[in-house]
A = this chain, B = another copy of it.
């Protein structure tokens, strides 16, 4: 097995699935984009679902390295980390022409009811995301920068939900306004 080819299929597949959705994406389209011979898909992945599950991890890793890394940036205060995280999401959205949205939110919406394997994988990835935000909220509460009456896990989930919803509204608006509004509301929600 050629690991480089496998990664190229995941990268090209991620681009297409992010834009068109998982069910709407044909294996042939992915192989064509990855310039891999037709029919060799099952050499690299057991099934389309198996490919999809690896894609979820691929998306989660990429997001963690892009918009997510700032959540651990100790040079910023907890509130700054959360707002900067939203800024990075807005920057990515702009680079994508305000299309695509959150790949994890998208696949959760599309596949949550259709595949138990997808549901479990996406639930795990989403829980990790919420935990990271919750840890920042808790730190902010200890410093008095974030209101103390919020349950960090609940508030973290709420922020992730709002950001995934705003990423959907961004696709409708084709502009930054929904995410910018969301950023400001998150600030007002968190401040003491």
Contact = CB atoms under 8 A, between A and B. Distances in A.
A123 interface: yes
B162 A108 contact: no
Given A105-B168, A161-B166, A172-B123, A185 B113 contact: no
A69 interface: no
Main secondary structure of the interface of A (DSSP, over half): helix
Contact of A23 (B24, B122, B154): B24
A141 interface: no
Contacts of A122: 172
A55 to B, nearest CB: 16
Contact of A108 (B21, B157, B171, B185): B171
B110 A172 contact: no
Contacts of A146: none
A78 B184 CA distance: 23
Interface of A: 19-21, 23-24, 99-101, 105-106, 108-110, 112-114, 119, 122-123, 126, 149-150, 154-155, 157-158, 160-166, 168-169, 171-174, 178, 181-182, 184-185, 188-189
21 contacts: A19-B113, A21-B21, A21-B110, A23-B23, A100-B113, A105-B165, A105-B168, A109-B171, A119-B172, A149-B188, A154-B184, A157-B185, A158-B162, A158-B185, A161-B162, A161-B164, A161-B166, A161-B168, A161-B169, A161-B178, A185-B189
Given A106-B109, A113-B171, A161-B178, 14 more contacts: A20-B23, A21-B23, A99-B112, A105-B109, A108-B168, A119-B172, A119-B174, A126-B172, A154-B184, A158-B182, A161-B166, A162-B162, A165-B165, A188-B189
